[in-house]
Amino acid sequence: MIHRLAGCWRFWGESHGYFDSEADAEAFYDELVYMMVHQMCAPNSPQWFNTGLNWAYGITGPAQGHYVPDPDTGEVFLASDAYTHPQPHACFIQSVSDDLVSHGGIMDLWTREARLFKYGSGTGTNFSKLRAEGERLSGGGKSSGLMSWLKIGDRAAGAIKSGGTTRRAAKMVCLDMDHPDIETFVNWKVREEVKVAALVEGLKQLKKSDESIRETAERLDINLDYDFNGEAYATVSGQNSNNSVRIPDEFFDTVDAGGTWETTWRTTGETAREYEAGKLWDDIVYAAWRCADPGVQYDGTINAWHTCPNGGRINASNPCSEYMFLDNTACNLASFNVLTFYDAQTQTFDVEKYEHGIDLWTTVLEISVLMAAYPSEVVAELSYRYRTLGLGFANLGAMAMQAGIPYDSDEARAPLRLPQRPSSPGAATASRPSWPASTAPSPASRPTARACSASSATTAAPPTAWTATPPSGRTSASGPCRSIRTSAPAARSTSPT
């Protein structure tokens, strides 16, 4: 599996000019294999599900409606099959318009979400454009309201297992505080939790008091309990998404002033329902305490920190909320296991090796943007233009514990205070940090896979250094496109920035 991923990344990088030579591409592959085998870094799950299935095994599959950007022009076209261009991104943010069946509308969103869920990705959407309950429709009558559509999306997400496995689909639902249905949305999951309790406890009592009910329940094998994956929770709505409210600074000003919070109709912009701001805030707090939803996203602060404000507002996030960016964009992720860069015996952190890993994996994520397929035309266009990447870390708490640093302390929140491993005498002229020799064998089923080093762990030399260069016609802003560090790291500040 690791060969499938690393080999595919190498293939796309090599065929699009990311390396100066075949030796550079070989070193890139070798180091990625070593890091994944030794759990030093790992990509997000859609990479494991999808990347390299076509490259390694020739799998294609019928086209699923994905779009692919041309790597030279940025123009997008429909993918010809499901896996030549895989779906490696984990995080998506998609928009929805107040339209039932047209392109970009409500039913179209469920199709786009299904396209993502099928291949293991997650998606978030701000639904504030949808009309509230009771708003007039253009053809006469009144809207059934936001919540009726959210319940359809909830059912669809629950029916599709992420990547075809056992995990539920990953879905985020965001709503602005000025939507007329905000109170119903805030209390949605609280009401459903009460319904679950009524179902579970009610059946217990009915079995005791009504012999017919008990016999029927046994006949149909009805056993209701509080298992989140059980029948009781499957019966109620709202269990297949994370819900969040987008709170502007003005709302807290209104709460502090003891004022009334006004919402607006989606079609006219006129004042709709009014709520006591303090009570609405109490509802949010109580709901989060009672059932962990809704989360809060501080809209004013998020947009004040926006790195690309000229591209539009940030309206939503991915399901886990680590990705907050423009609508109709995607982000692919990887995480370092920082514990593997830490020497517990000497209590030093190998910054030089860590920085080299960042160079490698930034290039992996950039290549992933190049090779990817996307759920819609606009997502393909914007993801190609912005090329958002997410490179994080894991096991920071375990590293702090091994270092004898209290987890909840200022020292733990400033990991660069850890002593750094001294550079070797030849560090100033070394072509790259020296990795330990690998003993991982080549996959038996893929004889073309390379081992990470020579067979002798005691005498093996590290792989040749690689240098990424900008592909033809692309500026360095599209990727790291710079040489690996050739000297010891510069001294770093110890301030917790």
Domain residue ranges in the chain: 2-64+328-478, 111-316
Contacts of 368 (CB under 8 A, 6+ apart): 9, 43, 47, 51, 88, 89, 332
Cα–Cα distance for residue pair 99/139, rounded to 1 Å: 12
pLDDT at 475: 33
| Residue 407 DSSP SS3 | coil
Burial of 306 (0-12, 13-18, 19+ CB in 10 A): middle
> Which of these, 461, 460, 454, lies nearest to 431 by C-alpha position?
461
Q: At CA 148, angle to CA 144 and CA 154, rounded to 5? A: 165
Respond yes or no: is residue 8 known to be catalytic: no
Distances in Å between the Cα of 357 and the Cα atoms of 20, 40, 66, 426, 466 are: 19, 9, 31, 20, 12
Question: Model confidence over 160-177: pLDDT tens digits?
Answer: 876 666 667 889 999 999
Respond yes or no: is residue 452 known to be catalytic: no
Phi, psi of 262 (to 5 degrees): -95, 140
Cα–Cα distance for residue pair 116/114, rounded to 1 Å: 5
Q: Are strands 342-343 and 122-126 parallel, antiparallel or unpaired?
A: unpaired
pTM for this model (two decimals): 0.82
> Which of these, 93, 229, 113, lies nearest to 167 by C-alpha position?
229
The catalytic residue among 187, 262, 320, 355 is 320
For residues 480 and 366, the answer to whether their CB atoms sit within 8 Å is: yes
pLDDT at 446: 31
pLDDT in tens, the chain (497 residues): 999 999 999 999 999 999 999 999 999 999 999 999 999 999 999 999 999 999 999 999 999 999 999 988 889 999 999 999 999 999 999 999 999 999 999 999 999 999 999 999 999 999 999 999 999 988 888 898 999 999 999 999 888 876 666 667 889 999 999 999 999 999 999 999 999 999 999 999 999 999 999 999 999 999 999 998 899 999 999 999 999 999 999 999 999 999 999 999 999 999 999 999 999 999 999 999 999 999 999 999 999 999 999 999 999 999 999 999 999 999 999 999 999 999 999 989 999 999 999 999 999 999 999 999 999 999 999 999 999 999 999 998 899 889 888 888 888 877 555 566 655 444 333 333 334 433 333 333 332 322 222 222 333 333 333 434 333 433 333 333 222 222 333 333 333 32
pLDDT at 421: 62
Respond yes or no: is residue 352 known to be catalytic: no
> Which of these, 451, 462, 471, 484, lies nearest to 357 by C-alpha position?
484
451: DSSP letter: P
Cα–Cα distance for residue pair 67/436, rounded to 1 Å: 41
Q: What are 185's two structure tokens?
A: 């949305």
Q: What are 84's two structure tokens?
A: 């030549």
Question: Model confidence over 208-257: pLDDT tens digits?
Answer: 999 999 999 999 999 999 998 899 999 999 999 999 999 999 999 999 99
Question: Model confidence over 78-118: pLDDT tens digits?
Answer: 999 999 999 999 999 999 999 999 999 999 999 999 999 99
| Other residues' Cβ atoms within 10 Å of the Cβ of residue 11 | 17
Cα–Cα distance for residue pair 251/181, rounded to 1 Å: 16
At the topology level, CATH places domain 111-316 in: Anaerobic Ribonucleotide-triphosphate Reductase Large Chain (3.20.70)
Cα of 465 vs its chain's centroid, Å: 31
153 forms bridges with which residues in the sheet?
A: none
Q: What are 413's two structure tokens?
A: 């929140």
Distances in Å between the Cα of 151 and the Cα atoms of 24, 124, 154, 298, 352 are: 51, 15, 5, 25, 50
| Other residues' Cβ atoms within 10 Å of the Cβ of residue 445 | 8
For residues 243 and 292, the answer to whether their CB atoms sit within 8 Å is: no
Q: What are 148's two structure tokens?
A: 């009726």
459: DSSP letter: T
pLDDT at 496: 30
The catalytic residue among 54, 242, 318, 328 is 318
Cα–Cα distance for residue pair 173/189, rounded to 1 Å: 12
pLDDT at 412: 80
Half-sphere exposure of 55 (CA within 13 A, CB side): 22
Q: What are 217's two structure tokens?
A: 């329940």
459-497: string of b/e by CB count within 10 Å (b at 16+)?
Answer: ebebbebbbbbbbeebeeebbbbeebbeeeeeeeeeeee
Contacts of 345 (CB under 8 A, 6+ apart): none
